Amino acid sequence: MKRCIVVFALGLAAGTAVLAYNLWAYCCGRCTLRGFLVIGPFEKTMIGLTLVAGLSLVALKAFRRRQLAGRRCNCGAMLSDAWAFCPECGVSRR
Ligand SMILES: [Zn+2]
């Protein structure tokens, strides 16, 4: 729950910063309203990098989840690599 609040607060801060920058750029004449809707090479690059970063995050999480599943006993206890038996239920790891 606390993590959700932190993620929400960071997303809200990032959205507010983008909105403030766009408002400032528009008011200073650095861009036009039509410019917000045009997807140029920089925007395409950023969209591509965001997709690559998101896919990398999903792949890393899946890899980590698979790694942790191999180190967990059927009873749910976390096992060290050096342990031959589960300290909770006594089942052999092999
Ligand atoms: Zn166990």
**Band (25; pLDDT cuts 50, 70, 90):** very high
72 Cα: distance to centroid of ligand 1 (angstroms): 8
Q: Tell me, what's the pLDDT at 34?
A: 87
71 Cα: distance to centroid of ligand 1 (angstroms): 11
| Cα angle for residues 85, 91, 92 (degrees, 5° grid) | 50
55 Cα: distance to centroid of ligand 1 (angstroms): 33
13 Cα: distance to centroid of ligand 1 (angstroms): 44
Question: Are the C-beta atoms of residues 89 and 75 closer than 8 Å to each other?
Answer: yes
* Model pLDDT for residues 28-85, shown as the tens digit of each residue: 998 888 888 888 899 999 999 999 999 999 999 999 988 888 888 889 898 888 999 9
Question: Are the C-beta atoms of residues 89 and 77 closer than 8 Å to each other?
Answer: yes
* Whole-prediction pTM: 0.53
